Chain A
Amino acid sequence: MTSNFKLDLVTPEGRAFSDEVDGIVLTGGDGEMGILPGHEPVSTTVLPGSLVISKDGKELEIIIGSGYAEITGHYAHILTDSAVRADKADPAAIADARKRADAARAEILASLAQAS
C-alpha cells in the first residue's frame, strides 16, 4: 500500500488542486470524513465547507462549495462549485467564502431535514 494518493479538485473554472497528498478531511453527506490511502471505494456528496489536505506533515485548507467526491484507494476526485485556497487568497475573500459555505451547508441540511 502506498503512503499517499492523488487528489484532484475540479471546479468549472479549472483544476483547483492536483497533487499527491497524504490524507484529506472533508464534509460528506453523512458527516466529516477522513480519507487516507487505501480507503474503500466510495462515492459521496460533499457539503460546502473546508477541505483539509495534509501533505508532507503540512496542512492546507481549501474552502469548497457543494459537490461530489469519488474516492478509491489510490485517488480522490472532488467535483465542486468553487474552491478558495486559504493560503493564497486574501483574508476578506477567505472570510467571505467561509461565510457562504456555512450558509449553503445550513440550507442544504435544513432541506434534507425537511425531506426526511
Chain B
Amino acid sequence: MASTRDLRRRIRSVKSTSQITKAMQMVAASKMRKAQQAALAGRPYAEMLNTVLAEVTGNLGDFHHPLLEEHHTGRRAVILITTDRGLCGALNGNMLRHAAELDRDTTAFICAGRKGAQFVARTKRQLAAEFTYKDTPKFDEARAITKFAMDLFTRGEVDDVSVLFTSFVSTLNQKPELRPLLPIGELQAVEAGLAVPETEAEMVRGATEYLFEPSADQVLGALLPHYANYRVYQMLLEAKASEHSARMVAMKNATDNAQQLVKDLTLEYNKIRQATITKELLEIATAQMAVG
C-alpha cells in the first residue's frame, strides 16, 4: 500500500498541473476571442471587395489574368495551416490525417505552422516552403504565404493551389477542410465565397456609372491578388480561432480530470490515514490489556 507521504506528494503534483492547465485554458479563451474579433474587423474590407468585384465584372472586356489560367503539369500545392504548439486535442491529428491522404509524389506542401512542417519532414513528403505566423495573424504574414503560392502558380509549376486548414464551426467543433485557392474559379464563385449579405448601400453604389482608371480589366487584375490574400488571411484567422478553442476545450478537460484525480487521491489518503490511526489505537489498547 502506498505510504501517506507518497500520496501527499502525488496530490501536490496533480494540483500544480491542474493550475497550469487552468491558466492555459484562460489564456486560450482570451486569445480565441481576439482571433474572432480580428475576423470580424475584416468584414468592412470583405464587403467592399465584394461590391467592387461585382461592379468590375460587369464592365469587363476579354479578360485574361495569370491567376485565372489553367495549367496541366499533374502537380499541385497545398498550403497546410497547422498550429505551432501541441496541447490542443485532436486538432492537428485530424488535419494531418487528411494531409496524409494526398498523393505523396505530386503534392508539394507550403506549411504555415511548425506542426505541419514536422509532419512533412517526418513522412518525407515534399516541402515547398515553411512560414510562421503569430498568435494574432497579421495581414503581412498572409500576404507572404499567398505571394509564394501565387509565384509558384504563375510560373506554371503547379496545376492548382488549395488550402488545408481547420475551419471554425463552433467552440466545440472544428473541422479540417480543403479549399481551392488558385486558379481563381468562376467570378460568380468569387462573390459567393465571401458570402456577404446584400446591404442597401450596395444598391446605391450599383446605380453609379464609374470611370475605371486605367481600365476595368486592370482594376480587376490588381484586385485578384488582394482577393487571394484576403482569403488566406481569413483562413489563418479561422485556423487560429480553431486552435485556441480546441486548446481551451482540451485544457478544460485536463483541468477537470486533474481535479477528479485530486479528489480520488485525497479520499485514498484519508482512508490510509484513518487506517493508520485505528491501527495505532488498537495497538495501544492491546498493549494496555496485556499490561493490565
Contacts and interface: CB of A to CB of B under 8 A. Distances in A.
A81 interface: yes
Given A30-B214, A43-B210, A81-B139, A12 B52 contact: no
A77 interface: yes
Contacts of B48: 10, 70, 77, 79
| Overall SS of chain A's interface | strand
A11 B45 contact: yes
A91 to B, nearest CB: 19
B105 interface: no
B211 A42 contact: yes
Contacts of B38: 13
Interface residues of A, number: 25
A50 interface: no
Interface stretch (B115-123, B161-169, B217-225): B217-225
B214 A42 contact: no
Interface in A6-43: 8, 10-15, 28-30, 40-43
Interface in B135-161: 138-140, 142-143
Interface of B: 38, 41-42, 44-45, 48-49, 52, 55-56, 138-140, 142-143, 205, 208-214, 218-219, 222-223, 226, 229-230, 233
9 contacts: A15-B41, A41-B208, A42-B212, A43-B212, A44-B212, A67-B226, A68-B219, A72-B208, A79-B49
Contacts of B143: 81
Interface in A33-76: 40-45, 66-68, 70, 72
B211 A12 contact: no
A8 B49 CA distance: 13
B226 A82 contact: no
Nearest to A45: B222
Given A12-B230, A67-B226, A81-B226, A45 B219 contact: yes
